[in-house]
Amino acid sequence: MGEGTSLPGFGGWYHLVFFGLLIPWAAWKSRHRLERGPLPPRPRHFVAVIIQLALFLGISLWVAWAEGIDLAQLPRSGLAPWGLAAVMLAAGLVLMAPRWRKGVERRERKLHLFMPRTGRERALWFGVSAAAGLSEEVTYRGVMFAIVAGLTGSPLAAAAVASVVFGVSHVVQGWRSVVIIMGIALALHGLVALSGSLLPAIVIHAVYDAVAGLAYGRMGEEMGYPVDGIPLADEPTEAVPGAASANS
């Protein structure tokens, strides 16, 4: 190993294999299953995603404890970290809103998974969004980043690796979305580095996902997107990224 590098223990290797290999593979399988089979009812899907993200959070917290990774740092003093987070959130929403509308206009089939339409579904979606913000930031921007940075001795390499894995783990949304999500992930790594904490990234991740889902639902109602989703015979060509959380 080179200077400034360190090998992880069992927990670290387990985290890399589980989240770096098994989860992208499972997302790939889910993509093909959704392309060829019926869409799940949204409430059941949202509950399943919340449970899945809670499990992932538990694994990552255990690995952080086993590897001595400190995830509890608060943002640096002052309003600068939160101001930057607010600017990033606003920019993301403004840039992505036209893509969301185009996706609904094209009747993209996978948007069914990100489009709460009833009061119960919206309540569950808020749970999905909060779980995604916490679980995914801890897992990728926190634990995976720290493990890969220890292995390579390079924070830039660690951010790149974690961003690629994070993007590919959302392949159910389509390859165009994977590339966009990788870019969002890199921006979130930058926010964590500048703020010294995961907290601003957790907050804007959760808020972004919540707004995206609510926007999809409203646009779906305005443009007559079928409540039960698009039939297989009408499946579109590409998905537009909405909430990064519903990944399998």
Per residue in 53-88, pLDDT (tens digit) is 999 999 999 999 999 999 999 998 888 999 999 999
CB atoms within 10 A of CB 39: 16
Q: Which position has the token pair 């080179």?
A: 2
pTM over 0.85: yes
Query: What stretches in the chain show pLDDT beneath 50?
Result: 1-2, 234-248
Structural contact between residues 229 and 121, judged by C-beta atoms closer than 8 angstroms: no
Task: Give the C-alpha separation, 13 to 10, whole Å.
Answer: 5
Average pLDDT, the chain: 91
Percent of the chain past pLDDT 90, that is, above it, reads 80
Of 192, 139, 147, nearest in space to 23 by CA:
139
pLDDT of amino acid 241? 33
| Cα distances (Å, whole numbers) of residue 112 to 42, 75, 77, 221, 230 | 7, 36, 41, 12, 8
pLDDT of amino acid 231? 82
Structural contact between residues 189 and 163, judged by C-beta atoms closer than 8 angstroms: yes
CB atoms within 10 A of CB 172: 23
Structural contact between residues 46 and 127, judged by C-beta atoms closer than 8 angstroms: yes
Which two three-digit tokens encode residue 59? 């694994």
236 — alpha (psi -120 to 50), left (phi > 0) or beta?
Answer: beta
Sign of CA dihedral 4, 6, 12, 17: positive
Q: What is the CA radius of gyration of the chain?
A: 18
Per-residue pLDDT of 36-61, as tens digits, reads 888 899 999 999 999 999 999 999 99
pLDDT of amino acid 38? 86
Structural contact between residues 216 and 115, judged by C-beta atoms closer than 8 angstroms: yes
